[in-house]
Structure 1
């Protein structure tokens, strides 16, 4: 497995060198020592399934939350506004509010949102193709000219559609990178073991499934950045930035180093955290984490990029990728990658040389009911939020918490 780890280093060095060309404010901060801990401060518990958080970057301090069932809600000055910002439920398939991997899954604001008022959402719509469960749809909207807390439904512009063979492994994360391009996460199309196609969707460069894409949304409907790794290459989709992924449910850019961290959900045994680099192959379905899964005789495993961390299913069941903490309110988390698992456990990765060491993140103020960690969010100040659902005697109930100093 050492050869896999070494395959990551040149790309990382290049990416960190590029990050180093920014101002001193973007230089990496050395992580602190001590026990990582924080307190959960309730923001709202008015949801059922809050699966994504986005901020507009306009200085308003507003927080936008995607509810899986199809609505986007706004929290402003610690208050949940009474009317939804956007409702796409009529354009979606019906989803189970308890457990369903389909729905309204992601949202991101355009880097020039203050002037163009555009934002993007990713959701599951009915597919018209035989043999497909649904299609994942990336759509652009513009904010209403009359009310900044309402979207204009008439501004809808479909950017991209991808047919999905199964109901699960839909990805859905949207993040604009420091380069201004939109990064889009798609799962492998679902079904156990990436069963679709001769080599599985994750390894097939002719499909967008099992990939992280990088596109320029300023085109019609979009254009390909000229430095994308497969731009102009025959038998490969030019939108692809990285591949060999099973379900990169949540990923984020470190606002200091500009590195792209992804939590890729595993199959039966292992969950993993990856640092995503240009053209990288992260191994699925050849490997699950660092371990053989479905290895063809022709596979060259030395070219596959190893995760920076993996953990087995005796610890968790489904990773929920998070953020490198760059806020100021919780010194104990400075420079640590904060993430969790659907089973409610929370962790950090602490960098040490070329290694990332996992530690338990101690969180006080947790609800008494069984809690699932659905997603994480980062506000304009770099402070972190945990999006959850709990199952108890009253059924499913969603809540959003801000991480504050213990």
Structure 2
């Protein structure tokens, strides 16, 4: 019988793959995760729709005690719930963070909380309520909140729900629904915010908080942390999902077109201004390719150079990640992932610009498999096959204990996982694995990480 051959290979241009983008399981056990944020440190904060904010550590472990529990204040079901989280730019100094949730009356609430002064992993439960915005329906609540490069808090508000914007709210500047709002939260006393002087409707007909109009449901938007560009993924109605890019510095008073236009296609133009006065999307796709866009981020990390100049997004109805060229808007769809990885609800970005994605229960890393074999910490670990041809050994090269080892196939499916190892030497048995290429992900107790590629012939 021919022996199994296990080899370790480094990246070489002679090796090709059907895809370079894959997802690797980073943490499990979440319930209806809808947002991933960071506080400019190594932790990730995972927002659960039911009202909990969980802390996810850099080694993939999650804290038992929630950072914040708002479950008694939150109404869930349909598109309601705890939906957004943003840390103040001066969070390290003032401890403030902000949330967006649907209260038990069905209204959107924007509130300010603060971290405990004695425990950085727990928040105080006393809130300052900035805004309460009535919602006529249970869908199109928006949800994302982000601080912009100007230090102001941006709030994505859907058009109020139902279908087709029956209240004509998105084009009505006396309504907060169907808008991108912008407020200054550096106000200590009630109402705890003010409207920036450069907001387009300040002092004239229209609500002072409005920054832009004409969105249907901007479920996810993000700022490029390096060049300040704003990306808004607006969920479509019948046929078009759209991606808007607003180059920095962002102009105020933009009109993104809804309900007059769904993407660049006329929807209901009764009483609408000319299309030339509106901001059309950089990219769009029809419902032949999906049904509900989940916006992400333009990649700004350093681990995967081939991700540069790509805006990553997904679709709730499709089992894949896609990206748009940040200049031309041309969309590339990656091959399908495993069946258990669909219904993507949110992307996340860590403090270094590396990307994550969730299907509500699992947090995945987004990786470039063509660079597998390149160490994230070249000094930390070594990996080599054993004479048995069915096992390989991972050794800590500088005394860092190995805490976790994962193997993925090239489609991103987790095929082997060993956790809570806490040792300097680990031997992994792969005799039962099929022939093929595998990605090995090794975590050290100090947060170091190593990725390598295995070929089993």
Shift of 1:362: 4.5
1:268 aligns with 2:238: yes
1:203 aligns with 2:171: yes
1:245 aligns with 2:208: no
Say which SS state the counterpart of residue 208 (structure 1) adopts: coil
1:118-149 Cα shifts (integer Å, max 9, x gaps)? 1011000123xxxxxx1000111001122110
Look up the match of 2:44: 63
Look up the match of 2:146: 175
| Distance in 2, Cα, partners of 1:159 & 1:330 | 39
1:271-320 Cα shifts (integer Å, max 9, x gaps)? 00012442100110011111111111553222111110110001100001
Of structures 1 and 2, the one with the larger relative CO (CA 8 A, separation 6+) is 1
Look up the match of 2:62: 80
Shift of 1:324: 0.5
| Distance in 1, Cα, partners of 2:304 & 2:315 | 21
| Distance in 2, Cα, partners of 1:362 & 1:144 | 44
| Distance in 1, Cα, partners of 2:334 & 2:44 | 24
Look up the match of 1:214: 182
Say which SS state the counterpart of residue 90 (structure 1) adopts: coil
Say which SS state the counterpart of residue 204 (structure 1) adopts: coil
| Distance in 1, Cα, partners of 2:199 & 2:24 | 41
Aligned equivalent of 1:361, options 334, 337, 360: 334
Aligned equivalent of 1:38, options 21, 37, 45: 21
Aligned equivalent of 2:107, options 135, 146, 153: 135
1:54 aligns with 2:37: yes
The answer to whether the 8 Å contact 2:341/2:359 transfers is no
| Distance in 2, Cα, partners of 1:90 & 1:313 | 37
The answer to whether the 8 Å contact 2:298/2:310 transfers is yes
Q: How many residues end up aligned between the 2 structures? A: 344
Look up the match of 1:381: 352
| Distance in 2, Cα, partners of 1:186 & 1:35 | 39
TM-score for both structures, normalised by structure 1: 0.82
- The answer to which structure has the higher helix fraction is 1
TM-score for both structures, normalised by structure 2: 0.73
Look up the match of 1:91: 73
Look up the match of 1:120: 98
Gaps of 5+ in 2: 1-16, 370-457
| Distance in 2, Cα, partners of 1:35 & 1:379 | 27
Say which SS state the counterpart of residue 205 (structure 1) adopts: coil
Look up the match of 1:150: 122
| Distance in 2, Cα, partners of 1:376 & 1:361 | 16
The answer to whether the 8 Å contact 1:37/1:362 transfers is no
Alignment of structure 1 residues 284-363 onto 2, 5 Å: 284-297=258-271, 299-343=273-317, 344-352=319-327, 355-362=328-335
1:198-256 Cα shifts (integer Å, max 9, x gaps)? xx1100000110011110011232011111122221x2011111110000000001122
Shift of 1:39: 2.4
Say which SS state the counterpart of residue 302 (structure 1) adopts: helix
Structure whose alpha-carbon radius of gyration is higher: 2
| Distance in 2, Cα, partners of 1:116 & 1:297 | 47
| Distance in 2, Cα, partners of 1:339 & 1:280 | 23
1:41-78 Cα shifts (integer Å, max 9, x gaps)? 21212112110011001x3x010000001100001132
Shift of 1:35: 8.7
Runs of 4+ displaced beyond 4 Å? none
The answer to whether the 8 Å contact 1:63/1:76 transfers is yes
- RMSD value, Cα: 1.6
